[in-house]
Structure 1
Amino acid sequence: MSSSSKTESFTVCVFCGANPGASPQYTAAAQDLAKLLHKNNWTLVYGGGTVGLMGTLARTLVSLSGPNAVHGIIPRALIKFEQGGAIPKTEEYGTTTVVEDMHARKAMMGKLSNAFVAMPGGFGTMEELFEIVTWNQLGIHDCPIVVLNVGGFYDGLLGWVKKAIQEGFIKENMEGILVEAKSVDEVEDLIRSYKPAQGRFDLNWNAEGKD
């Protein structure tokens, strides 16, 4: 995971659902996000799926930018849920790395990326989003984290953040760790203009305990 400061090129990790959702607006947003990545020549890291919003996002970007623009990371146990029960085809979904568990998946997604976007999704999407938010709070990275609030999907979550601040569980200056995009068009500017929240932990995460 690299610092996002002073960079014009981003590898964007997108967390999103393995289901398409009840409204076609979610699929449309995934397609539009792929177009935005293509326009900026940004690459995608995602959860390696062929179905739902994950599949739409990857297929669309590969169709525009080619397979080298997409890197999916999938735990071995989940392959059986993909199309044909097989590893996604490179020509349709880009490069796929198979890992042994969910922890390895998240670690690799974080290591390869320098910006993060959360689209609508379920439990897995929320778990991935909040782990990367926590890593930012703890000073493990300072990369942009954007919540793409399609059709108000994340209104409740954003309201919970404000409630947790109000009740003293999150410091007010930490609210800026994640920023809201109300449309796909806002994602680019929010990534480029992102500034790490003040008051984040200044901790030494060097594996050897050295500066």
Structure 2
Amino acid sequence: MTVNTDDKNDLLIYVQDARDALMWKLEGLSEYDLRRPLTPTGTNLLGLIKHVTGAEALYLGETFGRPFPEPTPLWIIGTAEPNADLWARADESTEEILGRYRRVWAHSDATIEALPLDAIGQLPFGGRPKQTLHRVLVHVIAETHRHVGHADLVRELIDGATGQRSHGPNTAPGDTAWWQAHHDRVEQAARQAGGLA
């Protein structure tokens, strides 16, 4: 059996899957729900988009001498308040934030297309400043999927929507009663293990 491999294409599939999953987490929500903080540290959906936009522009643009031509949140961190890239101001439109993310990923894809995976980039910070495109792309995939996990939890807290995408079953089947019973089973097991039952 012959196995065809295309490492660059495989990596592109995984980064795009993460981007798409993150974007669908915003579908159908009000401006308030897109922006409201749902954890003690302020985690919110548009803030996650802003953060990954800046990270992707930095890692797959600036690092390889291909700077994204628009300002992005991570580039202004030195002059902005802490966590400026993790929330959306009232004067920042959702369309502006999502449009910039799509333009950044098109710019990133052009970098990936133009360079071999062993191309060396210069990170503008940190203890390991030189990295291959392959390693940087793996980092971007891991970081984006990590933030998709945050978005999973935030979206579930907003309206109960779960899963990797808006279509097709990709979570356990069950209605509200089934999920409540599942929650109760998990709680009971935790209480027993913790000596609280």
TM-score normalised over the length of structure 2: 0.25
Larger Rg: 2
More helix by share: 2
TM-score normalised over the length of structure 1: 0.24
Q: Higher relative contact order by CA 8 Å / sep ≥ 6: 1 or 2?
A: 2
